[in-house]
Amino acid sequence: MCDGMPNIPKSGSGAGMRSRALYWLFGIVAVSPLVAFVLMTRVPGWDSLAMHPTGHFWIVSAATLLSGAIGTALALSVSSVRSTRTVYLALGFIAIALIFATHGLGTPGFLVPAGQYPYAVVISAGLSQTVGAIFIALSVLPTSWPGSKFVQRNATPILGVALVLLFGYLFSMVFKPDFWEFLPRSRPWDTILALSTIALLAFAGWRYYRSWKLTQLPGQLAMLGALAFLCEAQISMYYGQLWHLSWWLYHGLLLAAFCTLIAGWAIEAVRAKSLIVFSRAIELRDSLDALHSSDEAALEALEAAVEAKDSYTRNHMGRVAEYTEAIAREMNLTPEQIEVAVTAGRIHDVGKITVPDAVLMKPGRLTEKEFETMKHHAARGEHIANSSRVLRHVSKVVRAHHERYAGNGYPDGLRGEQIPLEARIVAVADTFDALTSSRVYRPLRPWSEAVTELERVAGTQLDPDCVAAFLRWMVKSGELDAQREAA
């Protein structure tokens, strides 16, 4: 079922060049608004006046609707995900939508007479970004943050309270804007708001960048682009000249930010049918960073970040590590080899974090295309292991855990001794645990049947020496008898 080898991107290959080109394109697109702003404000005559209240109303309304749609989509995914990060992210975009809406509604000539500039217009654009940035930054705070448990438990009431406050702001700004005149609006205050908003967005951007490096999913790259646009919007917002191009720039940037994000998510939605990967990748990055040693507890935390997505494989990697250790000891490997095998066994499926749930948890047989997607987890796992100092030494073993002894495995189609010994051991442990646990696509099999199956595939799929060592351990340790009695 798995003949045919996928292409493996090597440095200097087409894939490598494509990603370099992507970096450049991303950089140029991200920097150009800043260059445009500098040119507009420095070159005389470039910052022309364009007084279009109607245009302003519609562009702000469009940005508001898009931000609101992003926030709502995220909020709707919360009840099933129970993720603190998603709650914060949803609040961030909903806050931007509701506060920014008052900026549009207060456009002179709409709800207020032409020629008047109510405080709502003056202050709401900046405020919407600052409040939004606070929530977006909270959405990427490290897991150890003391308040994160509270928010996790009270996701729904917090969303409710925030929505009431935000709607309160919206209505008071429309009907009683004078109330808000105690909020200062002066140069030093502006600069403080702009700088802190940029700092918050940059912090979030840095966190998304690091998790994007792990998974390289388009949705995360889109988030990074959106955050860059929002950062640059701050400069035009506070330092552009009212009704001039330098001021219009930020309206365009906000629209661009939300469109970028929605486009990235649309790709993700088609590919994975889920937005959960944002929080997962951040959690994975956190647990990799927290990994200072390959001790049991640290690796268990990492395992939890991976297995959170798939209840069917819960504890799978822990059991695989256990069987791997038994086989490695039975084969009299050195302590160093045993450590490599066990660590690799514990994280062997870490690359599955990038496999869409629709594929990973599909009850039926995978299509050719879905299987190709599934196969990527081996190479992605190698990449993720390489990104951690503690795991780097097991990356080759992680990559090779689906190679087959006879040579028709993936991703490289290695055979026999070409496959690292530790990977051959992990493969036996992995196969056995897959056979003896229930999966979404089939019920579990009794141990005796699983043993017969292992013997059947020894020499083709699995290394016969490793299988023999595993069976010896089972007899010696009495595990097989214990299972027979239990059955």
- What minimum distance in Å lies between the beta carbon of 401 and Fe ion? 6
Residue closer to Fe ion (CB basis): 349 or 382: 349
Residue closer to Fe ion (CB basis): 125 or 359: 359
* Contact code string over 252-291 relative to Fe ion, x by CB under 5 A: ----------------------------------------
Q: Report the distance separating Cα 475 and Cα 330, nearest Å.
A: 12
- What minimum distance in Å lies between the beta carbon of 471 and Fe ion? 22
- What minimum distance in Å lies between the beta carbon of 303 and Fe ion? 13
Residue closer to Fe ion (CB basis): 265 or 410: 410
Residue closer to Fe ion (CB basis): 84 or 436: 436
Residues 287 and 294 sit within 8 Å (Cβ to Cβ): no
| 3-class state of residue 462 by DSSP | strand
Retrieve residue 390's tokens: 């503690």
- What minimum distance in Å lies between the beta carbon of 325 and Fe ion? 18
- What minimum distance in Å lies between the beta carbon of 353 and Fe ion? 12
Residues 61 and 89 sit within 8 Å (Cβ to Cβ): no
- Contact window for Fe ion (CB under 5 A) among 37-45, 93-101, 180-188, 343-351: 343-351
Q: Report the distance separating Cα 460 and Cα 46, nearest Å.
A: 72
| DSSP 8-state symbol, 356 | -
- What minimum distance in Å lies between the beta carbon of 275 and Fe ion? 24
Is 303 a residue that touches Fe ion (CB under 5 A)? Answer: no
Instruction: Count CB atoms within 10 A of the CB of residue 292.
Output: 10
Is 349 a residue that touches Fe ion (CB under 5 A)? Answer: yes
Residue at 69: amino acid letter: A
Q: Give the number of residues in contact with Fe ion, rule: CB under 5 A.
A: 1
Is 433 a residue that touches Fe ion (CB under 5 A)? Answer: no
- Contact window for Fe ion (CB under 5 A) among 205-213, 347-355, 383-391, 410-418: 347-355
- What minimum distance in Å lies between the beta carbon of 408 and Fe ion? 16
State the residue for tokens 């364009």. 50
CA dihedral 357, 363, 369, 373 (to 10 degrees): 30
Residue closer to Fe ion (CB basis): 303 or 349: 349
- Contact window for Fe ion (CB under 5 A) among 119-127, 133-141, 155-163, 344-352: 344-352
Q: Report the distance separating Cα 23 and Cα 419, nearest Å.
A: 34
* Contact code string over 218-247 relative to Fe ion, x by CB under 5 A: ------------------------------
Retrieve residue 301's tokens: 């935390």
Residues 131 and 162 sit within 8 Å (Cβ to Cβ): no
State the residue for tokens 């494509």. 18
Residue 37's contacts (CB-CB under 8 Å, 6 or more residues apart) are 232, 235, 236, 240, 246, 249
457-to-27, 42, 348, 462 alpha-carbon distances in Å: 51, 73, 21, 6
Retrieve residue 265's tokens: 């998510």
Residue closer to Fe ion (CB basis): 189 or 441: 441
Q: What is the largest CA-CA distance in the chain?
A: 90
Residue with the CB atom nearest Fe ion in the bound state: 349
- Contact window for Fe ion (CB under 5 A) among 93-101, 128-136, 346-354, 441-449: 346-354
Residues 214 and 289 sit within 8 Å (Cβ to Cβ): no
Residues 285 and 206 sit within 8 Å (Cβ to Cβ): no
Residues 396 and 420 sit within 8 Å (Cβ to Cβ): yes
Residue closer to Fe ion (CB basis): 232 or 349: 349
Residue closer to Fe ion (CB basis): 218 or 407: 407
- What minimum distance in Å lies between the beta carbon of 243 and Fe ion? 59
Residue closer to Fe ion (CB basis): 66 or 400: 400
- What minimum distance in Å lies between the beta carbon of 355 and Fe ion? 10
- Residues forming contacts to Fe ion in the complex (CB under 5 A) are 349
